[in-house]
């Protein structure tokens, strides 16, 4: 009897831990929009437009729809508005990309397939070409899932953590090494927020950084993201955030 009771307690404990783990790594469906700002020593400052990310839960994980709309001179320079879509699962608190594609509104100009057992990414475009790239060791995300993939880390990033961003449009993988983390208060359109500021530096490109401000109060979603290099800085600042609770 004691053995059966002990096994029951052990099983209960395991179920509880699994439940806690799934809750820790769960994301609430959300629509989050950012204003895109640009600052260049050569071209000056401008507001480029707006990007909207819509996260939904699926049977196996999550899906994202992203729409980027340019405005003003940027609409002339950038041309057509763009869209991206992707799906990912969550394993051990990290996003695992399953599908990723994008292009002009209403079109699919590129698509990326992932072969995780072989650790390869396959880049496909409308010309019918297919290129494969080996996936490096580290946290692999894509341009579409990146915002939520970083949120899953909840600001808890080891010093050795590497971030690799799969870019389907340009058929490349950009690598970053963690440079610093810090806590601060960020002023946003949603009010003042307690955030963890995470700075990544581009591999082999000293001075190029990718920075996220992860909000403690909003499931560690990035309320601000900034990509910087010596000649220019592109900043994404939260404009609206609606959790579908």
Domain ranges for the chain, please list them: 2-243
Q: Pick the more confident residue, 128 or 112.
A: 112
Of 78, 231, 82, 88, the residue nearest 166 (C-alpha):
88
pLDDT in tens, 12-54: 333 333 333 333 568 999 999 999 998 887 778 888 899 999 9
Question: Any idea which residue has 């953590």 for tokens?
Answer: 161
How would residue 161 be classed by pLDDT, with cut points 50, 70 and 90? confident
How would residue 5 be classed by pLDDT, with cut points 50, 70 and 90? very low
Question: Quick check: 145 and 86 in contact, CB under 8 A?
Answer: yes
The whole-number pLDDT of residue 97 equals 97
CA distance 218 to 139: 22
CA distance 191 to 188: 5
pTM, entire model:
0.85
Inform me whether the pLDDT recorded for 1 exceeds 70.
no
Mean pLDDT of 72-100: 83
Inform me whether the pLDDT recorded for 76 exceeds 60.
no
The rounded percent of the chain whose pLDDT value lies above 70 is: 84
How deeply is 126 buried, as exposed, middle or buried, from its count of CB atoms within 10 A (0-12, 13-18, 19+)? exposed
Inform me whether the pLDDT recorded for 89 exceeds 90.
yes
Q: Pick the more confident residue, 167 or 19.
A: 167
């Amino acid at each position: 009897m004691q053995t059966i009771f002990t096994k029951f307690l052990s099983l209960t404990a395991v179920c509880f831990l699994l439940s806690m783990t799934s809750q820790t790594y769960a994301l609430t469906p959300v629509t989050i929009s950012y204003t895109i700002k640009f600052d260049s020593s050569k071209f000056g400052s401008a507001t480029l437009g707006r990007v909207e990310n819509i996260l939904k839960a699926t049977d196996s994980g999550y899906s994202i729809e992203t729409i980027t709309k340019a405005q003003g001179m940027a609409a002339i320079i950038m041309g057509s508005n763009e869209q991206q879509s992707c799906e990912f699962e969550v394993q051990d608190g990290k996003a695992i990309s399953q599908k990723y594609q994008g292009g002009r509104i209403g079109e699919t100009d590129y698509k990326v397939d992932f072969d995780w057992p072989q650790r390869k990414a396959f880049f496909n475009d409308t010309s019918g070409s297919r290129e494969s790239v080996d996936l490096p060791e580290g946290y692999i995300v894509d341009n579409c899932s990146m915002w939520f993939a970083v949120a899953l880390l909840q600001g808890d990033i080891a010093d050795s953590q590497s971030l690799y961003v799969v870019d389907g449009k340009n058929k490349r993988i950009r690598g970053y090494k963690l440079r610093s983390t810090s806590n601060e208060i960020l002023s946003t359109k949603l009010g003042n927020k307690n955030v963890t500021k995470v700075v990544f530096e581009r591999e082999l490109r000293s001075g190029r950084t990718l920075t996220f401000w992860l909000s403690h109060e909003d499931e560690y979603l990035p309320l601000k993201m900034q990509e910087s290099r010596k000649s220019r800085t592109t900043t994404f600042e939260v404009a609206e955030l609606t959790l579908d609770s």
